[in-house]
Amino acid sequence: MQRIPTGVADFDSILGGGLPAGSVVLLLSDVGGGGHEFALTSAAKIGIVKEFPETRSFMLGHAGKAGVLPEKLNYITFSRSKEDILREVKLSFNRDFFESLSSGLMFKDFSKGYFMRTVVPTAWTGSEDGDLFSELKVDNLLESLVNFLDSNAPNSLIIIDSLTDLIVSETIKFEDVVSLLKGIQRMAKKWEAVFYIILTDEILDKRRQQMVVDSVDGVLKFEWSKYHHTSKRQRYLYVEKFTSVLAHLDQERIARFATLITSQSGFVVINTERVG
């Protein structure tokens, strides 16, 4: 089975080179827990290796060398502009990450459609007057997303930022979002793509969150944990669901990964905690 590196070397070494092609992965994250940074690190490092193949061992580690790189890197956003995201990257990470993401990442901004039936004026979303009428011809936002994926998802890494935006929108039915996820999960195998879908934890009630979890192949949970008797906190990564990944973790008796986010290396696994 082809595997696509995550760009987090110590994680990929456990997974046998990365995530299986055709995987739809929910990045379920506490606020600031690291889900967004994980996706950006993955895209940035893969982008650097695609442009400079000689950096592959350094960027992806020994295990990542055997993985297959996606042909395209796509970033889908519903409420934030490309400029806003890149500005955040520039302030947070090193120059190589910024240049990789600004040149190698295809951004698709659906904010005009997302805000169309809200109080947000078109001027705030970068729309010209003429754009408003062309946007009205589109049946709905989810259909526009489907059309984009049909054309761009094959052999790609796709980051969807974020599912939270779709779920909190009063103009989009939750049941339609779940149906879309199930459709993406089905087509991802044919496209041989990997999807990172970002969702803020506990935005949904338990029942609805489980419906989302049941509609994807894997769930990576990013959360903060406090130390006893101190205010110090540590980020952790858990694999909550992922049949092909959990088999490797169970074999190694791995419970969770302690993680760190740095400006130089992005999202990094700093310790692997084992059971027993």
Is the pLDDT at 150 greater than 60? The verdict is yes
CA 239 – CA 273 distance, rounded (Å): 13
- Adjacent-strand bridge partners of 238: 221
Higher pLDDT, 117 or 82: 82
HEC-encoded secondary structure of 165-233: HHHHCCCCCHHHHHHHHHHHHHHHHHHCCEEEEEEECCCCCHHHHHHHHCCCCEEEEEEEEECCCCCCE
pLDDT in tens, 40-53: 999 999 999 999 99
Identify the CA nearest to 75 among candidates 169, 156, 182, 192.
156
Maximum Cα–Cα distance across the chain? 63
The rounded distance, in Å, linking the Cα atoms of 135 and 137 is 5
Domain harbouring 147, CATH code: 3.40.50.300
| pLDDT tens per residue across span 222-247 | 999 877 666 788 999 999 999 888 88
- Count of alpha carbons within 13 Å of 37, Cβ hemisphere only? 28
The torsion angles phi and psi of 183, rounded to 5 degrees, stand at -65, -45
- The number of distinct structural domains making up the chain is 1
Domain that holds residue 184: 3-274
pTM exceeds 0.75, yes or no: yes
Tell me the C-alpha distance between 186 and 34, whole Å.
27
**Confidence check: pLDDT of 271 > 60:** yes
Distance CA 64, CA 242 (A): 19
State the average pLDDT over residues 73-100: 96
**Would you say residue 158 has pLDDT above 60?**
yes
* Range from 13-17, 71-75, 170-174, 241-245 that averages highest in pLDDT: 71-75
138 pLDDT band, cuts 50/70/90, is very low
Give residue 226's pLDDT: 74
**Per mean pLDDT, which range of 12-21, 77-86, 226-235 is the poorest?**
226-235
Residue 4 has pLDDT above 70, yes or no: yes
Average pLDDT over residues 127-148: 62
Confirm if 181 and 24 have CB atoms less than 8 A apart.
yes
Q: Percent of the chain at pLDDT above 70? A: 93
Could you give the CA distance from residue 234 to residue 223 in angstroms, rounded to a whole number? 8
Radius of gyration of the chain (CA): 19
Q: What is the mean pLDDT of residues 212-221?
A: 96
Q: What is the mean pLDDT of residues 115-129?
A: 72
What is the torsion angle, in degrees rounded to the nearest 10, for the CA atoms of residue 165, residue 147, residue 175 and residue 182? -110
**Preceding amide of 162 cis, omega within 30:** yes
Between these two residues, 10 and 216, which has the higher pLDDT value? 216
Question: Which pLDDT belongs to residue 115?
Answer: 86
Whole-number average pLDDT of the chain: 90
